Structures are given as structure tokens and as C-alpha cells.
Amino acid sequence: MSHPLLILFKRDCSLFLRRRQDAIAIIGFFLVAVALFPLGISPEPQILRTIAPGAVWIAALFAIVLALERLFTDDLADGTLEQQLLSAQPQSMVVLVRLAAHWLVTGLPLVLLSPLIGLQFGLHGAETGVLTLSLILGTPVLVLIGGIGAALTAGLRGSGGLVTLLLLPLYVPVLVLGTAAVSATMTQSSPEAHLSLLGAALLVALVLAPWATAAALRITID
């Protein structure tokens, strides 16, 4: 990573961490959403183990979408985003660095909390490990896909719900693969196929999503 991109990465991380209320809201939403599933469905341990993969993944998805609304909005309003796209660095790399910083401060905390959530739902060690690994592979895909929607709706008030509606069809395969990997472990099957597909999705998203997001930002700015 070249020096200007490293500076951009540090800048985005520090700016988000200064908005502590946003970080608290994302983590709090994730924890509260996961905690509500046992109350709304059943406190039975076997049922909790069954719904655990879907509950954690759905909560992680909406927590990440909640954080995407301000990904580009503030920098678009003050002109910083336009200057970044006009810099000597490739636009796709600028976008990729920004999305990486966003995942680091929003997605990574959810991954780190997942073992504790797994214990809450009564998951065994191997199941909790697969859940954590699936989130490590899957949450960056959610951020990369979400960046496209955030770029298209940058500057629109209350665009969080619109981002979700626009990109929900693209999120579904990631949710299915993530939950299926944990479910396979519960039934003594191998989760390797599902995790491999999640890894492949991550590679495809790393290649295509920054380019698509940069194109969407150019359309928004114009």
C-alpha cells in the first residue's frame, strides 16, 4: 500500500473512532438484536442452538448496514470525497482502502463478539469456531457490497433503509452460505464447501466492488 493510501486508511479509522456514539450504536444494536431472538422465539436450549447461525448473521447484516449510511455522506458534503477521487491514486484503490477501514472499525468488533454470542446460544467449540470463521469471510463481503449502495445513495437523507432494499438480493447468498456452514457443523457434516464459496465470494467482491463503488461515486458527484 502506497503512503497516501496508508494515510487515508489511518484517517478513516481515526475519524470513525472519534464518533464513539456511532460505534456504540452499531455494537449495541448487534447485541440487543441477538438478545431479542431468545425472547421472541423460545428459551429452549435446543431451539436456541438451531436458530443461532441465522440470528447472529441477520443481526450482523443489519448492524453493518446501519453503519453504511454515513460512509461517504460527510466527505461528499464538504468536498473531501471529490478531492480523494481526483488524486493520483487509482479510484478503486481509494475506495478499497476506505471500505477496509470501515470493516476494521465496524465488522471486526462483531467478529470478535461472535464467540461470546455462540456461548450464549449454547454452541459447541467447533460450531463457534466455524461461526467466527464464516463472519471473518462474510462480513467483508457485506461491507464491499454495501459500499456500492452507500455510494449510490450518498447525500440522500435517511438512505439506510434504501441501501438495504437495493442490495438485499445480493446479501442473501452470503447469509445462506454463512448460516449453512454452521448448520453443517451441527449435523457433523463438513463446512468446507460453504466456507470455500464464502472465500470465493470475498475474492470476487474485492475485485469488482471497489470498481463499481468508484463508478457509483462518480455518478453521484456528477
Q: Convert the pLDDT of each residue in 46-85 to its tens digit.
A: 888 888 899 999 999 888 888 787 777 777 777 777 777 7
Three cell numbers written together for 198? 464464502
Q: How far is CA 35 from CA 30, 32, 46, 195, in A?
A: 9, 5, 16, 26
**pLDDT per residue over 203-220, tens digit each?**
999 999 999 988 888 887
Contact of 94 with 9, CB cutoff 8 Å: no
**pLDDT per residue over 103-124, tens digit each?**
988 889 999 999 999 888 888 8
Assess whether pLDDT exceeds 80 at residue 87.
no
| Mean pLDDT score across all residues of the chain | 84
- Residue 128 pLDDT: 92
**Taking the chain, what is the end-to-end CA distance rounded to the nearest angstrom?**
28
- Residue 140 pLDDT: 94
Range of the domain at 67: 3-221
- Residue 113 pLDDT: 92
Q: Say whether pTM exceeds 0.85.
A: yes
**Of 145, 192, 153, whose CA–CA distance to 169 is shortest?**
145
Mean pLDDT is highest, among 25-34, 73-82, 95-104, 171-180, for 171-180
Q: Region 159-181: what's the mean pLDDT?
A: 80
**Distance from C-alpha of 21 to C-alpha of 43, rounded to nearest angstrom:** 31
Total tally of structural domains belonging to the chain = 1
Per the model's pLDDT, the better-predicted residue between 18 and 55 turns out to be 55
Which helix (H) or strand (E) covers residue 74, if one does?
A: helix 73-78
Q: Region 86-96: what's the mean pLDDT?
A: 81
